[in-house]
Every structure is written in structure tokens, then in C-alpha cells.
Amino acid sequence: MSETTTTDLYEVTMAMSYLREGMRAPATFSLFVRDLPPGRGFLVAAGLEPALDYLSRFRVTADDVRDFAHSLHRPPEELAALLDLRFDGDVRAIPEGRLVFAGEPLMEVSAPLPQAQLVETYLLTQVCHQTAVASKAARCVIAARGRSLVDFSLRRNHGPGAGLQAARLGALVGFSGTSNVAAATQLGIPASGTMAHSYVETFACEEDAFRAFARAHPGPLTFLVDTYDTEGGVATAARVLADLRRGPGCAIRLDSGDLGALAHRSRALLDAAGLEDVRIIASGGLDEYAIAALLGDQAPIDVFAVGTRVGVAADAPYLDAAYKLVEYDGRPVMKLSAAKVTAPAPKQVFRRPGCMDVIGLHDEEPPTGATPLLRTAMRGGRRTGPPDSLAAARARFEADLAGLPATARRIQDPEAPVPAASAQLEALTAEVRGRLERALATRPGTGAPGR
């Protein structure tokens, strides 16, 4: 499947019209989230690196033209103006790992209008999905209070590509590993895995299964102990680990039942066997809410393996995001639709201490003590520097998280900071709105939009 044709059809119909009308002047589109999902006090910017990779490769080939023409039921010759179209524009964006809030542009794309239009859908798919999953994973990091987290989501993700993204995003916010072998290899992060219940069931008893597994793997070992009776499984695992002297670095995994109560009993059994250094791993439908509840009850769990609910951001699987035109041919523009009003012109986000952000015009001076967040990531269709690293993104995330108000960090009922608009942005918005309303008022039968 071509990345270029991975788009909504109306992007093609608009681009064709622009080309026919000779509308190739520079346009700026702003990608932002209108409102944070319920239960979110912040979002983690993510998806920029894959988006830049896509823009770097973007080109409309002859095969793409044929596919577009087929979808439109038109001869390919009528779409010849699209052939060999490439992205040679600029991108300003908030780097991955930074915390962002409603209304703040995560990315602004400036390019000849047909180019900027055609890339809309793909950019939204990358930035929205990855920001949603990164934000869910980040809340797990908060809930875990310094304990290790491992991504176990691959088999429940919405396809292999989403699985790779989930592993990457977990690493970006501080996960210690992933079960996804391809992701671990490609991204250079630790691979982590244990055994399935089916493995235990193929042997006559749990002890045979654990000893066979130990013969195949030098360790550290992790035994899944809840195939039959969990406490009996823990006792058997403890006996095997003690016999083999495999304690340090080894673990047992709890995957079902009352994980809190089982963790307490398992810890007691392991300690009684002299295996204080054997860790307890918990898995099975975990997310930040479950982790917070377990640790609120002081469950002695060392590692949380999170999968389904985090990999698909189950409680907030989409973002109310938009990619809106804010300037064309040097003219600031805005949308006046009810409940979907946009602010005109290219912008900048200025971060003050405590995430007291200000959204302003891209060329205005920062407020005192504020730092601009959007950086130029691409100029003339080329990256302005080497690809960003996961380590750098993680460092940005950790720094921003440390400065986030406690009310926004809460797992239950967080309160998100609300960015302010600069005086210059407010003045320009009022000016553009007034101009549009006056123009609309002069049209026969058309009234000005309500405020």
C-alpha cells in the first residue's frame, strides 16, 4: 500500500482543484487538539519523527495517480498535474516527549497549498494515535511510582504497525522493555517475556514445566504461577529456584485473580523460602487505574506488564484533533463554525514555569521567563537535523512531568492547565473575525455568524 494514497479522497479532490486554479501559494496548516479527552490532565506529544520520515519520502508516483484516478472514476491523464508532486515545505513542531494541552499546535506545516493539503490525513493518523497512546502510557508511569513497566500489548494492538508504535511510545515515557521482538530489535530497547499457560499445561505438572524451562534458559527466569492454583504455583516456583540457585534477577508472574491479595501471599511465600530477591511481576488487564489501586493497597509488586488497555488507549482511544488552515498567501484565515472556531495565523507556544502556557503568534517575543516550544524540524522538505532519539524525548518528558502541577498528574479527576492567548493573538483574531463578519454581512440573505 502506498503511503501517498493512504489519504482521504477529499484531499485529492481539493488538491486537484487548487492546481487547476493555479493556487500554489504558501499555506500554513496547524495541527492541534481541540479538547483533552475526559480523564486526561495532559497529553504527551508523539508521532513527529514518523511524520517527518513520511514527509521526507512523500512523492506522487504514476501508480499513485492511477489509483487516484480509479477512485475518482476519471482517466489518469486528467490527474497528470499531481504526478511527481513532492513535499518541499517547512515544518515547525513541538518535539516528542513534551507535555501539551488543548488548543496548542503540536505541528504547523507551511508549503504550497496542494502539498500541505495532500499530507493532512497521514499526519493526523501519526500524531493523533501516537499522542493518545503515549499519554496513556505516561499515566501508567505516574501510577507506578518508580516501579518498572513493560509493554505487553502487541497481540492486542490494532495491527503490527500499531504494536511497534506502542513499544516505542512506552520506551519514550520510561517503560523498561517490551515483549515485541521486532520493536526491541529495531529500537534498541530490552525484550522481555516469560511463558504462556499453554506451556505449563503441556507438562505433567508445574514443576516439570518450570525445570524444563530452566534447562532451556540460563536465566534470569520468570515462572508463570497461576495456571492452576496460584499459591501452589508460587511454592513450586520457589522450590525450583532454590534448588537451582537461580534467585537473583528471577521472578514469578501473576496474571489473574485478586492481584493485590495474591501478591501479598506470594511475597510471604518467597521470603519464607529465602528468596527475598525474587521479584513479582503482575499482568492481566492493567492500566494506570489498576496500578494506582494496587499500590494504594501496598501490593508488593515490582514490575507491571501492561497490554491491552494501554496499547489501544482504551479509555481515550482517539483525540479531537484538527488540521486547519491558518494562513494562505500571507493572509491570516480562521474558521467561524459554531463550537469549532479556530485562531488565525502561524503560532508559537510559550511555556512558563508550572506549565502556564501562552499561545501567541509565531514571530512575537516570548513572555518573560517563557520558552518557545515549537521548533523548525523541516525546511524545504529536508530535516533540519538528524532524527531525534528516544533518550532525548524521554529526557524532555521527564523534565516536563517534573514541572507539571500535581492537579494535572492525578490519576482520578485530573485538572489540565488551560493555555492563555497572547494579547497579539487575541487582537489579530478579533481583526480577522471582524473582517469575515463584515464580508458575510454584505452577502444577500447571509447574516454574520453568532459570537
DSSP string, 37-56: PTT-S-EE---HHHHHHHHH
C-alpha cell at position 443: 452577502
- Cα separation, 137 vs 288, in Å, equals 8
Same domain, 167 and 295: yes
Total domains present in the chain: 2
In a domain? residue 119? yes
Instruction: Give the domain-ending residue among 296, 311, 326.
Output: 311
Nearest residue to 149 via CA among 315, 266, 262, 302: 302
In a domain? residue 287? yes
Number of H helices, E strands in the chain: 16, 19
In a domain? residue 448? no
Instruction: Give the domain-ending residue among 285, 311, 337.
Output: 311
Same domain, 298 and 352: no
Same domain, 306 and 161: yes
Q: Which residue has cell 506529544?
A: 45
Same domain, 307 and 322: no
DSSP 256-314: SS-HHHHHHHHHHHHHHTT-TT-EEEEESS--HHHHHHHHHTT----EEEE-HHHHTTT
pLDDT in tens, 183-210: 999 999 999 988 999 999 999 999 999 9
Instruction: Tell me which residue range forms the domain holding 55.
Output: 9-133+317-441
- Cα separation, 157 vs 166, in Å, equals 8
- Cα separation, 42 vs 45, in Å, equals 10
- Cα separation, 338 vs 411, in Å, equals 32
**Residue ranges of the chain whose pLDDT lies below 50:** 450-451
- Cα separation, 109 vs 116, in Å, equals 7
- Cα separation, 385 vs 219, in Å, equals 41
Nearest residue to 104 via CA among 166, 44, 54: 44
C-alpha cell at position 301: 509488586
Per the CB < 8 A criterion, the answer to whether 302 and 281 are in contact is yes
Same domain, 181 and 294: yes
Q: Which helix (H) or strand (E) holds 166?
A: helix 160-173
In a domain? residue 427? yes
Same domain, 175 and 281: yes
CATH code, 262: 3.20.20.70
Please, which residues bridge with residue 309 across strands? none
- Cα separation, 64 vs 71, in Å, equals 11
- Cα separation, 219 vs 213, in Å, equals 10
CATH code, 16: 3.20.140.10
Same domain, 16 and 97: yes
In a domain? residue 121? yes
Report CA-CA distances (Å) from 104 to 90, 360, 391.
18, 10, 24
Single-letter amino acid code for the residue at 11: E
pLDDT value of position 1: 75
Single-letter amino acid code for the residue at 19: L
Q: Which residues, in sequence order, are CB contacts of 231 under 8 Å at separation 6+?
A: 262, 265, 266, 269
In a domain? residue 451? no
Same domain, 57 and 123: yes
Same domain, 281 and 325: no
Per the CB < 8 A criterion, the answer to whether 348 and 410 are in contact is no
C-alpha cell at position 380: 524545504
Burial of 102 (0-12, 13-18, 19+ CB in 10 A): middle
Same domain, 156 and 118: no
Q: What is the DSSP letter of 191?
A: B
Instruction: Give the domain-ending residue among 281, 311, 341.
Output: 311
In a domain? residue 200? yes
Q: How far is CA 135 from the centre of its chain?
A: 6
Kindly compute the dihedral angle of the four CA atoms of residues 170, 173, 175, 179, in this order, to the nearest 10 degrees: 10
pLDDT value of position 445: 66
Same domain, 297 and 424: no
**Cis peptide leading into residue 105 (ω within 30°):** no
Same domain, 421 and 376: yes
Q: Which residues, in sequence order, are CB contacts of 207 under 8 Å at separation 6+?
A: 236, 239, 240
Q: What is the DSSP letter of 158?
A: S
In a domain? residue 1? no
